[in-house]
Amino acid sequence: MKKILLLSAIGLATLTGCGSLDINEDPNNPSGEKVSVSLIMPAAQNYVAVVAGDAMYNTAGFFVQYYEQAPTTNQYNKYTWYQLTADDNVSDRWYSCIYAGALQDIEEIKNKTKNTYDLFAATALRAYALQIMVDATGETPYTEANRGSSIQKPKYDNGETVYAGILKELDDAEAALNSEDRAMDGKDLIAGGDINQWKGFANALRVRMYLRMIQAGIDVADYTAKLKNVVSKDEFFTGNFEYQPGFQDQKAKDNPWYESNKRTNAANHVGSYPIISYMSITNDPRIAYTFTKATTGDNEGKYAGRLPGTHLQTGYTYKDNGVYSCLNYYPTKAVEFFTQAELQFLLSEVYLKYFNDEAKAKAAYEAGVKADFETREIDGADEFLAQSRTSWDAQSGNDAKLKLVYMQKWVALLYMDHMEAWSEQRRTNVPSWGLTGKEFEADNTKYVAGDLIYPYRDDLGSKAVPLRVFYSTSSKNLNENVPEQPALTTPVFWDK
């Protein structure tokens, strides 16, 4: 009940847009001087949820081929064809919500409280917000960001600088924790004020970022030692680290992606062929959580995914979305910031690659699968893990075991955390890119279930895919310090 009341108090309508926010408001002289930390904290969490649970979530879901544009609508053609331009405003909402929303609120928290628990939670939230901005755009304001009127046109820092900076911020904020504070003053809609959950979240962020710094070849020995140290301590969050303010099945009070893509817009999504082919061949009962069966056409009564990039193409025009698997929608679903399943899959990778401990790697892999089954309230995890395609012991060699971990992470992040799914696919190259859409059309027997498919229509060029998104258009229009825009095919710093 308290969450529902607070949901109304913070104005959950902000979940549908951040466009009116002023990124240059002075954090030392904020407009909401009488607003207490107890309300600023959930507002900051809310802004991050807009990005992680709707704006980035939707875009990344197309890029990692969880879904395609539905046949009868045209809202997201540019994502399925990679028909993106620097003026598309794709990241404007992300940028505004993060910088003028969440990070501005966090600056207010820092100026209004000395409670080290609040400061640590705010720092962890800030680290997460900046991490996903780097992973999306490659470079982003950091050292000069949110300085109010003193720096109205911040420079963009490279991703490596941002990662290193926020990792240090986490370390400093944790070192400053004072047990005499005992409790957070801010209302916490993620962890209920449990500082150990926030510390566990920070440790999970460290694992995620350490792996990417190592991938980038940056201070490899140092980050490997830090990675092994944090994993050895085994102090992580329990359950899922998620934003749940008490979503209701009501307009402007529901899950943000549901609000944008079910309640407000026509059904724009159908299942993509790669994810449905892989979940089908592995007899995965979780497929029913996300997808419905086709209701008409040759695949009636079956799970059927759409070939990427075929929307409006000759031979692929349909007047009924039911020729493919449509999506189930959940108005009260939480926004995931870090799932237990993803954490366990990351730990499995670390145990195998950096500890050479196959027993712990296997246990973490199976824990990841079981955690995802539990989140979706699906039975049959043990039976699923006993199959040859998904059994740890059935895989020959570490490379095969790692690929299994990565593939199951891809599945587990479906309908949970699409931004991390896209980031992890870029980092691990699993699922791998296989055939083009036209090669698939010519001979689909060459297709390996689960491989990503270069879109049938690909406006980036043959076998080219987005490895980042464009900088915010509004930022570019107002800030001459925005760097020259790299091509969408230019990887972010850790994508080696």
Out of 260-269, 282-291, 368-377, pick the least confident. Answer: 260-269
**Which of these, 430, 414, 489, lies nearest to 458 by C-alpha position?**
489
**pTM of this prediction?**
0.95
> SS3 string of the chain?
CHHHHHHHHCCHHHHHCCCCCCCCCCCCCCCCCCCCHHHHHHHHHHHHHHHHHHHHHHHHHHHCCCEEECCCCCCCHHHHHCCCCCCCCCCHHHHHHHHHHHHHHHHHHHHHCCCHHHHHHHHHHHHHHHHHHHHHHCCEECCCCCCHHHCCCCCEECHHHHHHHHHHHHHHHHHCCCHHHCCCCCCCCCCCCCHHHHHHHHHHHHHHHHHHHHHCCCCHHHHHHHHHHHHHHCCCCCCCEEECCCCCCCCCCCCHHHHHHHHCCCCCEEEEHHHHHHHHHCCCCCHHHHECCCCCCCCCCCCCCECCCCCCCCCCCCCCHHHCCEECCCCCCCEEEECHHHHHHHHHHHHHHHCCCHHHHHHHHHHHHHHHHHHHCCCCHHHHHCCCCCCCCCCCCHHHHHHHHHHHHHHHHCCCCHHHHHHHHHHHCCCCEEEEHHHHHHCHHHCCCCCEEECCCCCCCCCCCCCCCCCCHHHHHHCCCCCCCCCCCCCCCCCC
Q: What per-residue confidence (pLDDT) applies to 12?
A: 45
Residue type, 496: K
133-173 pLDDT, tens digit each: 999 999 999 999 998 878 899 999 999 999 999 999 999 99
Percent of the chain whose pLDDT exceeds 70: 93
For 434, list phi and psi in degrees, rounded to 5.
Answer: -115, -105
Q: What per-residue confidence (pLDDT) applies to 266?
A: 76
Q: Is residue 97's pLDDT more than 80?
A: yes
Q: What per-residue confidence (pLDDT) applies to 29?
A: 39
Distance, in Å, from the CA atom of 296 to the CA atom of 242, rounded to the nearest integer, reads 37
314 Rama sector, left if φ>0, alpha if ψ -120 to 50, beta otherwise: beta
Task: Check if CATH label 1.25.40.390 holds for domain 38-65+86-244+465-495.
Answer: yes
Question: Do 419 and 60 contact (CB within 8 A), yes or no?
Answer: yes
**In the structure, what pLDDT confidence band is assigned to residue 277 with cuts at 50, 70 and 90?**
very high
Q: Tokens for 472?
A: 């915010």
Q: Return the bridge partners of 364, or none.
A: none
Question: Do 59 and 260 contact (CB within 8 A), yes or no?
Answer: no
211-234 pLDDT, tens digit each: 999 999 999 999 999 999 999 999
98-131 pLDDT, tens digit each: 999 999 999 999 999 999 999 999 999 999 999 9
Give the dihedral of Cα atoms 483, 488, 490, 491; nearest 10 deg: 100
385-410 pLDDT, tens digit each: 999 999 999 999 999 999 999 999 99
Give the dihedral of Cα atoms 388, 432, 411, 88; nearest 10 deg: -170
Give the dihedral of Cα atoms 488, 489, 494, 495; nearest 10 deg: 140
**In the structure, what pLDDT confidence band is assigned to residue 23 with cuts at 50, 70 and 90?**
very low
Question: Do 450 and 318 contact (CB within 8 A), yes or no?
Answer: no
Give the HSE-up count for residue 484: Cα atoms under 13 Å, Cβ half-sphere. 2
**Integer CA distances (angstroms), 384 to 181, 238, 347, 381, in order:** 46, 23, 21, 5
Q: Return the bridge partners of 336, or none.
A: 242
**Integer CA distances (angstroms), 291 to 198, 279, 315, in order:** 33, 11, 24
Q: Which sequence spans correspond to the domains of the chain?
A: 38-65+86-244+465-495, 256-323
Distance, in Å, from the CA atom of 369 to the CA atom of 392, rounded to the nearest integer, reads 11
